[in-house]
């Protein structure tokens, strides 16, 4: 999923300061799962904002709505009347959702309420971990299912570096050394020979380095 | 143009001495000259670090050029942290055109350690890929795209090895990979844990690696017990055994530097007994003036004259 975290209330207050009538628009998919922008978060944020504004002696009208996915017209369309009735939309979707709102509703400012952080997993209750950078050319088959591009702090294809100690990454001891994990898994899978292989420099053209990416699916074009 | 003197010394079977010079945090040429003057006659070649520990300093390439003007042979250190393959190859060509003949290919410490942790890193390629690229320039005469270069750099190629990082079994595999990618000489992380170092060398010997590469043993004289403790606790991939820390703590403060020198000399004598070790790499961090003393006391002075 795409993992994000709600911005601090003080920052959100600053962002919505120029408006007196806003819509807080939630998204029911990724950001709901990571407790950043689903129905519940929309409601909590709306009350917190109202309360805080009131304390400051300011009036703000807040409309609340959550759609299934802000990144698809089919769902976003359901928000059309709420959006046109507001001066601005504070979107609690990921960055893609916010931009979709901006693109589809040209006259209404779309504001971000969430910091989109990474593509990751729910490691365990309350802990999300980054797993993929969307490099466009997946190499997980060669690295025992652990992504060196994302999980190694230096993106090493020929790791580990000289900073790996006791299974921890040199960057800080909260980070596991991806290469220690790769080696452990090679061992478990009986693939230790992979460790001696030289991995040539990557072709980054399929990653964000190649410019804005688009995916055309001819079979789906109508 | 002349080739590498370091290569000449190592190929002739002589025990080599290299040292390290860290460029200043600023554009002060005099600092470079002063540090280098301490190293001039006592090292066969001097490594110039590339924004070491991710602290912004005068570029390695520029400092190398200053060393050359003083008649010192530099080893250009290059990390892949800050430059992509375009910039790296371009700098290698520039370095060669200036007469630089030795290169040490590194990935580099992560920028979060350094003076500007807010920087974006690059890591387009890793040290292994860089070794491969420099060798391809020399052997095939092409850049990484396969383009035939008009005068391809012909560098003497080095890499670092850290026998003290984990996982230990992998450290020799990594050495093998670096040799296969192009490394002709290796400078190791500074040695305090001699037992582990010898184990590593033994494994390398058993795999026939020590015949394929010149290994220079890294040493760093300890200045104080505090430094020993700091290195043990804070420097990633570094082992300083407890007994050495105790030994440093065991002498009065004003004698600590002397004790550190003693340890350093003992280490040098011990690695000289290992036939697979072809030289020593002295990293006297911000203590360059001590190098001459070390080299002399170790009986490695004078250095062979260039032929
Ligand atoms: S290799 Fe690329 S696509 Fe695969 S997990 Fe890593 S970043 Fe994602
Ligand atoms: S310690 Fe491990 S994860 Fe961290 S940069 Fe080095 S190889 Fe990568």
Q: What is the pLDDT of residues B224-243, one digit of tens each?
A: 999 999 999 988 889 999 99
pLDDT value of residue A149: 96
- B275-296 per-position pLDDT tens digit: 999 999 999 988 999 999 999 9
B144:A201 CB<8 A: yes
* SS3 label, residue B8: helix
* B168 inside 8 A of chain A by CB: no
Q: What are the two backbone dihedrals, phi and then psi, of residue B281, each rounded to the nearest 5 degrees?
A: -115, 110
Domains belonging to chain A, first-starting first, are: 2-118 (3.40.50), 135-210 (no CATH)
pLDDT for B2: 78
Asked if the interface predicted TM-score (ipTM) of this complex is over 0.90, the answer is yes
d(CA A21, CA A42): 15
Looking at ligand 1, which residue's alpha carbon is closest to its atom 4?
A138
Say whether residue A177 is in contact with chain B using an 8 A CB cutoff: yes
Instruction: Inspect the interface and report whether the beta carbons of A159 and B126 lie closer than 8 Å.
Output: yes
What does the pLDDT average to over B86-95? 98
C-alpha A131 to ligand 1 mean position (Å)? 8
Distances in Å between the Cα of A184 and the Cα atoms of A144, A152, A195, A197 are 9, 15, 11, 16
Ordered by where they begin, the domains of chain B are 5-297 (3.20.20.220)
A112-122 in b/e burial notation, b at 16+ Cβ within 10 A? bbbebbbbbee
> Does B52 reach chain A within 8 Å, measured CB to CB?
no
DSSP A194: G
**DSSP-assigned beta bridge partners for residue B186:** B159, B215
**Tell me, what's the pLDDT at B126?**
97
Ligand 1 centroid – CA B250 distance (Å): 52
Burial of A203 (0-12, 13-18, 19+ CB in 10 A): exposed
pLDDT digits (tens, 9 = 90+) for B42-66: 999 999 999 999 999 999 999 999 9
Q: What's the confidence (pLDDT) of residue B235? A: 87
Residue B100 pLDDT grade (very low, low, confident, very high; cuts 50, 70, 90): very high
* pLDDT value for A70: 98
B107 with A195: Cβ contact below 8 A? no
- The protein residue with its alpha carbon nearest to ligand 2, atom 8, reads A152
Strand-pair partners of B80: none
**Which ligand minimizes its atom distance to the CA of A150?**
1
Quick one: how far is CA B166 from the chain centroid?
20
How much is the mean pLDDT over chain B? 96
What is residue B169's predicted lDDT score, i.e. its pLDDT? 82
Q: What is the pLDDT of residue A222?
A: 83
Q: What is the DSSP letter of B151?
A: S
Name the CA radius of gyration of chain A, rounded: 22
* Pair of tokens at residue B110: 């992560």
Cβ–Cβ under 8 Å, residues A215 and A183: no
Kindly state the DSSP code that residue B276 receives in the 8-state scheme. T
Q: What is the pLDDT of residues B196-217, one digit of tens each?
A: 999 999 999 999 999 999 999 9
pLDDT confidence of residue B123: 97
DSSP conformation class of A174:
T
Residues B271 and B267: their CA atoms lie apart, in Å, by: 6
Cα B262 to ligand 2 centre (Å): 34
User: Is A158 close to B128, i.e. CB distance below 8 A?
Assistant: yes
Is the pLDDT at B307 greater than 80? The verdict is no
Residue B1 binned pLDDT confidence (cut-offs 50, 70, 90): low
Contact A146, A181 (CB under 8 A): yes
Cβ atoms < 10 Å from Cβ of B275: 9
Which residues of chain A fall short of a pLDDT of 50?
none
């Amino acid at each position: 999923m795409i993992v994000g975290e709600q911005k601090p209330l003080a920052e959100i207050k600053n962002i919505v300061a120029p408006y007196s009538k806003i819509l807080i628009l939630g998204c029911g998919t990724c950001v709901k799962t990571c407790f950043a922008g689903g129905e519940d978060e929309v409601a909590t944020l709306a009350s917190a904002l109202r309360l805080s504004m009131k304390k400051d002696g300011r009036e703000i009208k807040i409309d609340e709505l959550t759609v299934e996915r802000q990144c698809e017209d089919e769902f976003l369309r359901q928000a059309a009347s709420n959006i046109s009735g507001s001066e601005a939309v504070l979107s609690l979707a990921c960055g893609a959702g916010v931009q979709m709102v901006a693109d589809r509703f040209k006259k209404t400012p779309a504001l971000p309420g969430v910091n989109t952080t990474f593509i990751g997993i729910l490691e365990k209750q309350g802990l999300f971990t980054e797993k993929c950078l969307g490099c466009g050319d997946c190499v997980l088959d060669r690295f025992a299912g652990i992504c060196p591009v994302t999980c190694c702090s230096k993106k090493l294809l020929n790791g580990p570096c000289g900073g790996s100690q006791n299974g921890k990454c040199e960057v800080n001891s909260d980070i596991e050394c991806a290469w220690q994990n790769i080696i452990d898994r090679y061992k478990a899978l009986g693939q230790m020979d992979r460790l001696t292989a030289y991995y040539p420099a990557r072709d980054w053209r399929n990653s964000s380095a190649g410019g804005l990416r688009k995916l055309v699916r001819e079979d789906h074009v109508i | 143009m002349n080739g590498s003197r370091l290569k000449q010394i190592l190929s002739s079977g002589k025990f080599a001495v290299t040292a390290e010079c860290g460029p200043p945090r600023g554009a002060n040429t005099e600092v470079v000259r002063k540090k280098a003057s301490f190293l001039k006659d006592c090292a066969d070649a001097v490594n110039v670090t590339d924004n070491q520990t991710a602290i912004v300093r005068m570029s390695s390439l520029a400092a190398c050029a200053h060393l050359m003007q003083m008649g010192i042979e530099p080893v250009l250190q290059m990390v892949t942290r800050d430059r992509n393959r375009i910039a790296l190859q371009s700098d290698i060509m520039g370095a060669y055109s200036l007469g630089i003949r030795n290169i040490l290919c590194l990935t580099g410490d992560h920028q979060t350690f350094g003076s500007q942790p807010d920087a974006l890193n690059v890591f387009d390629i890793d040290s292994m890929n860089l070794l491969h690229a420099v060798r391809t320039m020399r052997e095939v005469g092409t850049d990484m795209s396969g383009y035939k270069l008009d005068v391809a750099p012909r560098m003497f190629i080095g890499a670092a090895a850290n026998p003290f990082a984990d996982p230990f079994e992998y450290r020799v595999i990594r050495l093998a990979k670096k040799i296969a990618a192009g490394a002709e000489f290796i400078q190791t992380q500074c040695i305090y844990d001699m037992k582990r170092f010898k184990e590593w060398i033994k494994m390398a010997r058993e795999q026939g690696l020590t015949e394929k590469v010149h290994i220079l043993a890294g040493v760093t004289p300890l200045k104080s017990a505090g430094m020993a403790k700091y290195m043990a606790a804070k420097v990633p991939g570094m082992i300083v055994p407890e007994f050495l820390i105790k030994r440093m703590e065991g002498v009065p403060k004003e004698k600590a530097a002397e004790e550190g020198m003693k340890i350093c000399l003992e280490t040098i004598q011990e690695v000289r007994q290992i036939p697979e070790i072809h030289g020593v790499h002295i990293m006297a961090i911000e203590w360059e003036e001590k190098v001459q003393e070390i080299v002399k006391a170790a009986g490695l002075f004078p250095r062979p004259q260039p032929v």
